[in-house]
Amino acid sequence: MPAAHRVVIVAFPGVELLDVTGPAEVFSVASRVAEAQHRGYTVQIATADGGPVRTSSGVRLLADLRLDEVTGRVDTLLVSGAVVHAEGVGVRAVVDPVVTDWLRTAAPRAGRTGSVCAGAHVLAAAGLLDGRSATTHWLTAAQLAAAHPEVRVDPDPIFVRSGSVWTCAGITSGMDMALAMVAEDRGQAVALATARMMVMYVKRSGGQSQFSVPLSVQAPTDDRIGELRQWIAEHPDADLTAEALAARVSLSTRHFSRLFAQRTGTTPAAYVESARLEAARRLLEESDAGLPQIAAASGLRSLQTLHRCFQRHLGTTPAAYRRRFR
């Protein structure tokens, strides 16, 4: 049998427990269900000093080795993520300096590199996402875009692959990404068997969207853009053209569009569409309103626009979404 596919998951204090254990379990199950001709996976947890780390849930993880002991071939190198709640700022991703410095030399030696949740901020700090498309948890996507303008941040997908570098969204999406890696390594049949064993979707219904939009986070409440984002969330059926929004915050349209993109990592038009999609989602989940009424109340205006928006962003229809998430 060929050597096992080596997976190293980097952890540091405060990481989300499932950022580490979720992908590890996918690779472990894939090893158990794979046919005899497929090599399995070995998973190791690496920390700065090789000691245990306390996760955000308080559960301690035991490490297999120190970062400086990660030598030889690494087929898959994953970096878990951590966030903190800062008063007046909201949720902020943690960038561990020790892990960041180590990644600059370790990542080029790995077959592929990936991050789970806010671990994308660590990859970006190490320069591994420059010029690439990437995603992260929607709560910290604006932070990533503002701190690293050279990274093409897309806050919507469950995971993004850019060459040999993979990034994924929040927490459980690390399992989706790991399952996609299994499909790439061992084929769709092994990935399907793994998903069945874990009672997972091979591909989530509704596409690979995070099914959420950051409506009132990432900006202080006394900030004009932050207040405007809250107002957009509360008035999705209002006139939300760039000109109308710029007038609301007493800025020229050009300056407003530039400032909004800088603060949020997206354009006003794209953000408004996402906010309206969010409003439509909630109405589908929480009300008995018909689709034409939901289209009007969410600002999407027509049934045709409602359908196009759901297909483009979620890969499903409003009716199918309601059946699943009601």
What pLDDT score does 3 carry?
80
Pair 131, 258 in one domain: no
What pLDDT score does 128 carry?
98
- Number of compact structural domains in the chain: 2
Pair 229, 312 in one domain: yes
pLDDT in tens, 18-71: 999 999 999 999 999 886 666 799 999 999 999 999 999 999 999 999 999 999
* 212 located within any domain: no
Question: Which residue numbers in the chain have pLDDT < 50?
Answer: 205-207, 214-222
State the DSSP code for 124.
H
Cβ–Cβ under 8 Å, residues 132 and 144: no
Q: In sequence order, what E strands does the chain have?
A: 5-10, 41-47, 53-54, 60-61, 65-66, 74-79, 83-86, 90-93, 110-115, 133-134, 152-153, 159-162, 165-168
Pair 44, 130 in one domain: yes
Pair 63, 19 in one domain: yes
Q: Indicate the pairing of strand 152-153 with strand 90-93.
A: unpaired
Pair 310, 234 in one domain: yes
What pLDDT score does 209 carry?
61
Pair 168, 251 in one domain: no
Pair 72, 119 in one domain: yes
Pair 79, 124 in one domain: yes
Q: Which domain holds residue 246?
A: 224-325
Q: What is the mean pLDDT of the chain?
A: 90
Q: At what angle do helices 173-186 and 188-198 cross, to 10 degrees?
A: 150
Pair 186, 238 in one domain: no
What pLDDT score does 224 carry?
86
Pair 23, 168 in one domain: yes
* 217 located within any domain: no
Pair 117, 9 in one domain: yes
